[in-house]
Every structure is written in structure tokens, then in C-alpha cells.
């Protein structure tokens, strides 16, 4: 009976110490949050046969931190200075959380990373894009998934609009030339008009003399 009492007393004495060890205090949490905020990420891609596959690379990772896909709950353990995650699809948004496995702070989400992967436009190298590579439907990356019908329709409409603009620009250039010419005449008509009259009189006189000879 005495031994049981002693054991119970020791257990009650040690229990608060163990409970404290299982609690993540504010100082520890702030420390790991700062480490999590220092993590950088980037994405890269491989293009093959009009298809693309992405990978996300997290760098500057502290050895006490792990990453978890918040949509699938898949955990990516620390294995070095960086974590590379493959099989990333284009046009999707991904959320990853930073966690620590340290006792007491494990299970606490320290930081969230939001990563948006652009849509891959497999038609960007199509022959329709020749000469209009700057048009948004001819860019390698787009803001949505598009069909070939939508792609060709918009590219052809864009080309037609450029042709119309070119015609309008030519008309504007011609009109501008005549406007400049007319304004020049109005400004110097007192010089130009007498010259025109004299030139006409000289031509008439020359023409009449020529007729007299024959």
C-alpha cells in the first residue's frame, strides 16, 4: 500500500513536467514560423510532345521542418537543403503547409504556401501563330484551358483586325499628307498662287507659239 502511494505521488509530481514538454510554447512557435517564412519555392517544367510536366522546388528548408500537401495530406520529409515535388499538373493551384516534428509543436501549421501553376497552351507553336507570336493566344502560357477551335477562331480574328488597322492607317497617312499639303498652301498661298499663275501663263504662251510654227 505504501509503495502504491509513493508511486502515485511520484507520478503526480512528474506529470506536470511531461505536460509542459508536450506543449509548444509561444517562443518555440514563433521560432519555427520564422524558419518556415524563410522557405522559398519555384516551379520548373519539362516540355515534350506538346505536353508539359511541372515540378515544385522548395529551398532554404530547416532540418526541423517538413512540408505537407494540404489537399492530399501527403507529407514530404526533410532530406536536405531542398525538397523537390514532381508530377505537378498545369493549370492547378496547390497549397502546402510547413510543420515541425519537434515534440510539442508537431501538428501545428506554421505557414501556408499558395502556388498557382499556369495553363500550358499546346497550340502556341501552331502555324497560325506565324507573325503574331505576341498575341496572347499564341503564348506558351495561358489563363485557362482552350480548345483548338477557340484558339484558331481568336487568332484568325486577331489577324483580320490587324489587316483592317493597316488599311485604316494607310488612309490616315494619305489624308494626313493632303492635310499637311493644304495647310502649307494656306500658309504660303501669296507665294504659291502667283507662281502657279505665272507657270500657267508661260505654258499657254509656249503652247501658242508652238502652234504658230505649224
**DSSP annotation string for 160-204:** HHHHHHHHHHHHHHHHHHHHHHHHHHHHHHHHHHHHHHHHHHHHH
Measured CA distances, 18 to 6, 11, 22, 23, 121 (Å): 18, 10, 6, 9, 57
Measured CA distances, 150 to 109, 122, 155, 171, 189 (Å): 42, 13, 9, 32, 57
Share of the chain above pLDDT 90, in %: 55
Q: Is pLDDT at 169 greater than 70 in this prediction?
A: no
* Nearest Cα residue to 181 out of 171, 189, 169, 191: 189
The pLDDT of residue 53 is: 92
Q: Is pLDDT at 16 greater than 70 in this prediction?
A: no
d(CA 23, CA 155): 61
| Confidence band of 3 (pLDDT split at 50, 70, 90) | very low
* Nearest Cα residue to 163 out of 198, 197, 132: 132
d(CA 63, CA 57): 16
The pLDDT of residue 145 is: 94
Q: Is pLDDT at 180 greater than 90 in this prediction?
A: no
CA 1 to chain centre: 74
Q: pLDDT digit string (tens) for 61-109?
A: 999 999 999 999 999 988 777 899 999 999 999 999 999 988 789 889 9
CB 98 within 8 A of CB 123: no
The pLDDT of residue 199 is: 78
- Tell me which residue has cell 501663263: 201
Helices (H) and strands (E) counted in the chain, each on its own, are 3, 9
d(CA 39, CA 31): 13
Q: Is pLDDT at 9 greater than 50 in this prediction?
A: no
- Tally of CA atoms within 13 A in the half-sphere of 196 that contains its CB: 7
CB 46 within 8 A of CB 52: yes
3-state secondary structure of 50: coil
Rg (CA), the chain: 39
Amino acid at each position: 500500500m505504501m509503495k502504491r502511494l509513493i508511486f502515485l505521488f511520484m507520478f503526480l509530481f512528474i506529470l506536470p513536467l511531461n505536460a509542459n514538454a508536450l506543449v509548444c510554447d509561444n517562443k518555440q512557435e514563433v521560432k519555427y514560423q520564422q524558419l518556415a517564412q524563410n522557405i522559398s519555392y519555384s516551379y520548373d517544367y519539362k516540355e515534350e510532345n506538346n505536353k508539359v510536366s511541372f515540378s515544385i522546388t522548395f529551398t532554404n528548408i530547416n532540418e526541423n521542418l517538413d512540408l505537407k500537401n494540404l489537399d492530399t495530406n501527403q507529407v514530404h520529409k526533410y532530406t536536405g537543403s531542398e525538397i523537390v515535388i514532381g508530377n505537378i499538373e498545369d493549370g492547378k493551384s496547390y497549397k502546402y503547409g510547413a510543420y515541425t516534428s519537434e515534440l510539442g509543436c508537431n501538428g501545428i501549421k506554421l505557414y501556408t504556401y499558395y502556388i498557382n501553376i499556369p495553363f500550358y497552351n499546346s497550340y502556341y507553336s501552331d502555324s497560325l501563330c506565324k507573325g503574331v507570336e505576341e498575341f496572347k493566344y499564341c503564348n506558351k502560357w495561358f489563363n485557362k484551358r482552350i480548345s483548338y477551335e477557340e484558339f484558331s477562331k481568336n487568332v484568325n480574328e486577331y489577324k483580320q483586325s490587324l489587316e483592317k488597322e493597316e488599311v485604316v492607317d494607310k488612309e490616315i497617312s494619305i489624308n494626313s499628307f493632303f492635310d499637311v499639303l493644304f495647310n502649307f498652301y494656306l500658309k504660303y498661298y501669296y507665294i504659291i498662287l502667283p507662281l502657279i499663275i505665272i507657270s500657267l501663263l508661260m505654258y499657254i504662251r509656249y503652247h501658242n507659239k508652238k502652234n504658230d510654227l505649224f
